[in-house]
Amino acid sequence: MNTPVGECQDKVGFRSWGGAALTEDEAAGLRGRTDRDSETRPARVQSKEEGRQLRPAHTSRPIARPAPTEAAHTHPVAMDIAPPASSNQVYKDLFAGTVGGITQVLAGQPFDIIKVRLQSSNQYKSMTDAAIQINRNEGPLGFYKGTSLPLIGIGACVSIQFGCLEASKRAFKERNLANGGGPQLSLGQLYLSGAAAGVGNSIISGPVEHVRIRLQTSSSASQLNHFVGPADALKKIIGSDGIFRGLYYGQVITVAREFHGYGMYFLGYEWLVERHMKLKNCSRSEIGTGWAMLYGAGAGYSMWLSSYPLDQIKTRIQTDGLPSQPGSRKYFGMMDCIRKIYMNEGYRGFLRGLTPTLIRSPLVNGATFAAFETTMRFLNS
């Protein structure tokens, strides 16, 4: 058993470098030097017999005997650092994120298609009018148009989100401990953890959302913009413009939205969760599902209220003509899109479709976090 830091100072009057306890060999060496000093003092020369009698009295004082492990010679702060996450934990993060992503798609798809229609077309007067027209012209299944690809893609996206988030949080925690601080993450670190999750997510969310938006706005009246399903959309987009100029069209604004949006998203959720644990003096696993849904709803508002204009620009670009279709394009780049929206519609143009988004947000994001937390508890039980 290792002797606590500082205990040897009280017992042998000396502390090794860094405040670590003395090993048995170090203590024996110190004792030997003390004995030699006492033998060579000129004040009094002891006989061999007197030395035998006095020596036990000197050495009877207890000496710490920590196990001669490598940890006894290391800096004490380093021993507090949490070990890296096992691959098993990473798989749990990814699986729980996938469950959360599927839940998100099923709960939010009807609201999402209304939002996209309002953002990309002027034929609807309001959210209610859009819902009525979709139901009248396309039937109830029209609200789930283009769902098959997002069901797989968004599931993977949310899996990556939570995987990157948890990995970033662990990295910041280890860095804080290595620098002598506590495991608590600052607001800036929580934001950057969420931003990292957003950037990782954008690798898949960019093309998935692009295809979904094309399907949601597909029109049989336009040969260029008519797609009969995800496979047909992928074939036509990649066939005409390739992967990077076609499938990843609008990726720059997508990364910008994901970076800031998910930075605010996970900052909001983690701050609310940590505040709850502090006020209730409980662990994360003890937070009820209802609270997780409430905090997820708050996180959703934090994301959309701070990044919705970026989402508006992204939707306008990804519903516009592709680079190979210059005659059907309204916008030639992100800055041109921003300028034209403001010139033609004012600042309100950047907020079109916000109402269904804010109605959708608490349901979708509350369900996402509740599904993630519940799945993680099940996997860790």
Per-domain boundaries in the chain? 7-78, 87-380
Mean pLDDT, the chain, rounded, equals 80
Which residue intervals of the chain are DSSP H helices? 7-12, 24-40, 48-59, 87-120, 127-138, 148-178, 187-216, 230-241, 251-280, 289-318, 334-345, 354-380
CA angle 119, 123, 124 (to 5 degrees): 70
Distance of CA 208 to the CA centre of its chain: 20
- Eight-class DSSP state of 45: P
Q: Is the pLDDT of residue 122 over 70?
A: yes
Span between the terminal Cα atoms of the chain, in Å: 31
Provide the pLDDT for residue 16: 38
Closest CA to 158 of 378, 375, 379: 375
Cβ atoms of 152 and 204 closer than 8 Å: no
Q: Is the pLDDT of residue 207 over 80?
A: yes
Provide the pLDDT for residue 257: 97
User: What does the alpha-carbon distance between residue 330 and residue 333 come to, in Å, rounded to a whole number?
Assistant: 10
Q: Is the pLDDT of residue 49 over 90?
A: no
Of residues 71 and 212, the one with the higher pLDDT is 212
Residue reference for tokens 């609008």: 250
Ramachandran sector of residue 85 (left: φ over 0; alpha: ψ -120 to 50; beta: rest): beta
Distance of CA 331 to the CA centre of its chain: 33
Closest CA to 159 of 375, 378, 380, 381: 375
Provide the pLDDT for residue 113: 86
User: What does the alpha-carbon distance between residue 274 and residue 288 come to, in Å, rounded to a whole number?
Assistant: 14
The whole-model pTM stands at 0.68
Closest CA to 232 of 256, 214, 250, 253: 214
Domain 87-380 matching CATH 1.50.40.10: the answer reads yes
User: What does the alpha-carbon distance between residue 316 and residue 330 come to, in Å, rounded to a whole number?
Assistant: 9
When mean pLDDT is compared across 12-21, 49-58, 143-152, 278-287, the lowest value belongs to: 12-21
User: What does the alpha-carbon distance between residue 242 and residue 207 come to, in Å, rounded to a whole number?
Assistant: 12
Neighbours of 74 (CB within 10 A): 12
- pLDDT category of residue 110 using cuts at 50, 70 and 90: confident
User: What are the tokens at 261?
Assistant: 């949006």
